Structure 1
Amino acid sequence: MSSTAGGSQPYYFVPHPSRHPFFAAFGLFFVIFGAAAWINSIGWGKWTFFFGLVWLLVVLFQWFSDAVGESEAGQYSRRVDHSYRWSMSWFIFSEVMFFGAFFTALWWMRAHSVPALGGLENSILWPDFKAAWPSTAPGITASPAGTVEPFQTMGPLWLPTINTALLLSSGVTLTIAHHLLRVGKRAPTIAFMWLTVLLGFTFLCVQGYEYYHAYTDLNLKLTSGAYGSTFFMLTGFHGFHVLVGMLMLFFITLRLMRGHFTPDRHFGFEGAAWYWHFVDVVWLGLYVLVYWM
């Protein structure tokens, strides 16, 4: 999806009728249907989910390949370029609202829900309850009835701090790659892009080890009260976004190696870079609010 300088292209590009939206919806149906069955312990749910997921990924690959071919054929004018930019901007805005909801839920529990549970009106039901955050043991915030196993919270040292350094470094290498692309230096651009992808992959590996450490050493699980659920929801969804962003950068790097993009025509690169910088900013907020506070 490269931008073009305009000129000979039509005022607006209208694609031919496509099978991709229908088949993408078909795959999504099986993803949701299978996931619903899987979480309800229905045996075939897992396989239905993975069938829909593979189907959807194949359709998306074909769909994006068509869009790349149209772009490289010079069919996209400046108006299409603006359309892509606005579309990516609104998509990132929707992601801001998505993470904003989770951050707000974390704040609400810490500032309102937990103190309210420790109020005078609840003292008769739970006389030994202590409205403290984070919740680390039965009888405090996690479980007044003792139904949640004791656990330890995840501190900022050292795995989250290492991941912070990795993501910030990847933002720097990506910015350098963008600058090199704009001045026409393709070979070093590709090198810095591969370094960015490697840093993103390393982040995911460190986060995977962090989850292993949480489960085995800290007994911190998704079921560990309000703290456990918000911790894994925030870090898990962010990790998924890192995976998506890393795949974006990976395919952009492959396109660079095939000769796609020029100093004046590279919105596909820019869109992926916007997304990656957004992921970096979200992590900084997560690092402070979840690990330090």
Structure 2
Amino acid sequence: MRACGEGLRVAIMTDESGWHTRQLQQALRARGAEGRCLDLADVRIDTTVADHGLLLPGWGRALPDAVLVRGIAGGSFEQVTRRLGVLHALAALGVPVYNDARAIERSVDKAMTSLLLHQAGIPTPACWALESPELAQRLVMRESAAGRALVLKPLFGSQGKGLLRVGWVDGAHVPLPPLDGAYGQVAYLQRLLPPPADRPGFDWRVLVVGGRARAAMRRQGRGWIHNVAQGARVRAQPLDAGEGPALARCAEAAAAALGLDYAGVDLMPAESGPVVIEVNGVAAWQGLQRACRVPVAPWLVDDLLQRRVGGRRGLRRA
């Protein structure tokens, strides 16, 4: 594998360096490539510096041979738009961006994710996204009257933060709270899937790389939220037996619907089979790697170098 990346310089876009970036740098070094961490917030548009108009700190007038997006810091609408604009610009200049800006835009917006999954015919819970508190409250009351609960989620949230159950919850009506703060005056509501009657609630995380489901874990939380960051217990979920093949098919279709090079796809069980609840385009994998004992960073790097970079060279132009 070393010749595949020999001499290549890869920018790892991240707002924080740590275990994940070290894993990626190690995998790149093993293939003869160099991985440099860079925060998109530090990349400048400067049309006086080079023909391409971008200034990447530490790169001079050059561009990287490829970009691997590990994290994008939050910020104002203007800040996030500018950072994604840099990724768009790099792709337009011929630099492979993994995942690219369009895919990240689709996956970071939970409402757009739900819409695209629905349009692709992929099983996913009913959802609503609206800005009217009055209409949202009416919707919650209607669902509650039918004995159903909804999950209110921040449109751009992650790691299970800010999730609230509303509607008919544990035998009582829970109204919609004010939509300020983390919700940004937007009600993104997803119909809650009840846990199976014969076992505790849980969900699955499936890692898709290059269009193929590579590994999966089952997550069981202390309550109704099953994110590893919220203390869920995890164990490996085989993809070649039992529910595994259905999980793999669903996760691969979800990643394809959003145009993702790699994705963490979250699914829950339902009577009809697995249902996709979220798709993460900047997925962490420490918990999955620990549970499944698989080499995730090498998978990502190999897919980037083989499928996206291939024989490309000479992209470091001024």
**Class of the TM-score when normalised by the shorter of the 2 chains:** under 0.3
Please identify which structure carries the higher strand content: 2
Bigger proportion of residues as helix: 1
Larger radius of gyration, structure 1 or 2?
1
TM (norm. structure 2) is 0.23
